[in-house]
Amino acid sequence: MKLSPLHVIILSFVILIFLGSLLIFFGGTPISALDAVFTATSAVCVTGLSVVDTAKLTPYQQSVILVLIQLGGLGFMTFSIGFFSLLTEKITTRWQFAFKGIFGETSRIPIRQVVKKALLFTVIIEAVSAMLLFFCFLGHHTPGRALYYALYHAISAFCNAGFSTYSDSFIGYATDPAVLLIISLTIILGGIGFIVLSEFTSREFAQNRYRLSRLSLHTKCVLSATLVLLIGGTFLIAWGLWDNTLGHLSWPDRIINAFFMSVNCRTAGFTSIASEKIGEGTLFIMSVLMFIGGSPGSIAGGIKTTTAWALVALIWSTMKKMRQTVIFKRALNKEVIERSAVLTILSILVVIIFTIIMHRYGTKNYESFTRNFFETVSAFGTVGLSCGISAVLTESGKIALSLMMLIGRLGPLTLLTALTIGEREKRLLYPDDFIMIG
């Protein structure tokens, strides 16, 4: 039976989750089968939500989680563009169409070169991050443990996973700007996408004397949206927590922690402040950031920065009565706008449905709708931030969030595309008509 590339992607994630669950379940520290599945799903989907304390698991179980994070993080990219096809002279046509179907006509760089650079970027960035973190951790741990913690958090940060060997994540490092900034930069590099990183290191960019104006529209959108979300998120989080949750810190540490949380809301999941102490207004702001997530072609989740940018451009162009949707003096393709709208609407519907399920059946104690919404969006955006609900999940809640993490990792549009493979395009056209709206 020949499977389509999209079916291979979905099946690979399911198989990886199944195998990871078995390894974690029989790894030493007693854990229920459902908790093992939940943990494996969270690791493969690089989410970070956990119903067990990772710090209390055996080194073997922690290592299994780390391998699942690395495979799950790179899996979507490598499988999407035919990783196994690299063993041959060229990537098959089916995989090339799969690549374009998922990421669109964005990359000026050949697919094979993007894959090679993706693997190279992963090794280099994780190695440099681990080295820097090693010197930061060296004052708190023995050299061997410092190296282990540094490597673990470097991989977890670059893959936007949020799993930590510390029970309180990075709350203990809230006054250590070096650790927070290193982790933040690693997360950002993992979330902007391999296509963007490849373009920055391409010969064409160098030959144009590193002019930003020569970058592709995709890269410009990713960089501008990322910058706006990081700065805006930092300001809003600092504004909401300045005199309460962050009140015990100095003002420079407040800004750095607000920036750290803004970065982590973009699908990473580490925290330097207790999420249980965050007010519902700030939780909603963080939920919006988690829903948008990182950039396409990266390890991050969410609807992606370019999707949000396309919708903002559509609204602005409509208000200005422009006949085209324009970004950086370029008109967006109609198909891109349609896919952005469909992806956003599907994502909103999925989040609403799962939030209702979580609110009714998800927790042992009655939790507010906002906190259930936050936990659901965290799972959808593969973020991993929790406001304390993970500790009181029912079996139904664990299953619901596991499905939410898988949907969020693959993306609603990917699942819809996989379900509609084989359907013929309808060429019948109907006459235009109007209805009242608004």
CA distances from 391 to 50, 52, 89 (A): 8, 8, 50
Query: Which range is least confidently modeled, 142-146, 199-203, 414-418?
Result: 414-418
* CA–CA dist 388, 210 (Å, integer): 46
pLDDT of amino acid 87: 45
3-state secondary structure the chain: CCCCHHHHHHHHHHHHHHHHHHHHHCCCCCCCHHHHHHHHHHHHCCCCCCCCCHHHCCHHHHHHHHHHHHHHHHHHHHHHCCHHHHHCCCCCHHHHHHHHHHHCCCCCCCHHHHHHHHHHHHHHHHHHHHHHHHHHHCCCCCHHHHHHHHHHHHHHHHCCCCCCCCCCCCHHHCCCHHHHHHHHHHHHHHHCCHHHHHHHCCHHHHHCCCCHHHCCHHHHHHHHHHHHHHHHHHHHHHHHHCCCCCCCCCHHHHHHHHHHHHHHCCCCCCCCCCHHHCCHHHHHHHHHHHHHCCCCCCCCCCCCHHHHHHHHHHHHHHHCCCCCCEECCEECCHHHHHHHHHHHHHHHHHHHHHHHHHHHHHECCCCCHHHHHHHHHHHHCCCCCCCCHHHHECHHHHHHHHHHHHHHHHCHHHHHHHHCCCCCCCCCCCCCCCCCCC
Average pLDDT of the chain is 84
The mean-pLDDT minimum among 5-9, 141-145, 291-295, 309-313 falls in 5-9
Dist CA 11 CA 14 (whole Å)? 5
* pLDDT-based confidence at residue 417 (cuts at 50, 70, 90): low
pLDDT-based confidence at residue 86 (cuts at 50, 70, 90): very low
Torsion-angle region of 163 (φ positive above 0: left; ψ -120 to 50: alpha; else: beta): beta
Question: What's the rounded Cα separation, in Å, for the pair 68 and 42?
Answer: 9
Instruction: State pTM to two decimals.
Output: 0.88
340, 311 Cβ separation under 8 angstroms: yes
| Residue 102, pLDDT above cutoff 70 | no
Q: Report the percentage of the chain scoring pLDDT > 90.
A: 43
pLDDT band at 416 (very low <50, low <70, confident <90, very high): low
Give residue 11's pLDDT: 81
pLDDT of residue 398: 92
The dihedrals phi and psi of 411, each to the nearest 5 degrees, come to 95, 130
Q: Which of 16-25, 280-289, 310-319, 408-417 has the lowest mean pLDDT?
A: 408-417
Determine the pLDDT at residue 420. 62
- Return the pLDDT at 424: 64
Residues 188-203, mean pLDDT to the nearest whole number: 84
pLDDT tens digit string along 31-70? Answer: 999 999 999 999 998 888 888 889 899 999 999 999 999 8
pLDDT value of residue 297: 75
Among 314-328, 333-347, 410-424, where is mean pLDDT lowest? 410-424
Residue 415 pLDDT: 67
What is the mean predicted confidence (pLDDT) over 368-378? 90
- pLDDT of 84 above 50: no
pLDDT recorded at residue 121: 87
Quick: pLDDT tens for 212-233. Answer: 777 888 889 999 999 999 999 9
Q: What is the mean pLDDT of residues 168-196?
A: 91
Q: Given a cut of 50, is residue 85 above it in pLDDT?
A: no
Give yes or no for residue 92 having a pLDDT over 60. no
CA distance 18 to 41: 9
pLDDT at 255 over 80: yes
Beta-bridge mates of residue 330: 327
**Cα separations in angstroms, 65 against 210, 299, 437:** 39, 16, 50
